[in-house]
Every structure is written in C-alpha cells, then in structure tokens.
Structure 1
C-alpha cells in the first residue's frame, strides 16, 4: 500500500499581485471609468437636446 502524501498545493494566493497585474487592473478600471463617464455625458447631452 502506498503512503498518502496529501495535496501539493503550492503557494497559491499567498503572494500578493505582481506589478504587471496591478498595472493591468488599474488600466482596466481607468478604461471602465472613462467609458462610463463618456456614456453618461452622451446620454445627458441627448436628453437635454430633445427637451
């Protein structure tokens, strides 16, 4: 019979994100914020133009 060794899970998420991951995340968040602002601005402009 073989001796059980358990799972070799490694470090997993115990190390924080790398600087590249932080830069990508910040870029995605900035893009979403700018896109949302443009969407709201265009929507307000179209609503005020029809009134």
Structure 2
C-alpha cells in the first residue's frame, strides 16, 4: 500500500495563530496607534516637529 500524504489543517492553523500572536505582541511592544502603519521606531521615541517661532 502506498502512503498518501494527507495533511490535517491543524498545523497550518497553529502556525497562523502563532504568527498573528507574534504580530500583535510586536505591534503592542512598539505601541503603534494602529497595526496597519508600520514604522521603524516606536511612536514614543519619535521627536516632535520643531517649533515655528524661535
């Protein structure tokens, strides 16, 4: 009898859930206002724009 690879969707769902968890934790660690905008540095460490008046 030939062994036919029959893969269950459980490992794929586990990997997708793990990736989503890592993505959410990474977004919360960098405290983004929303996860759709990817920035290279945290919003709290970004310098404010310079003042207009001297």
TM-score, scaled relative to structure 1: 0.49
Structure number with greater CO (CA < 8 Å, separation at least 6) is 2
What TM-score do the two structures reach when normalised by structure 2?
Answer: 0.47
Larger CA Rg, structure 1 vs 2? 1
More helix by share: 1
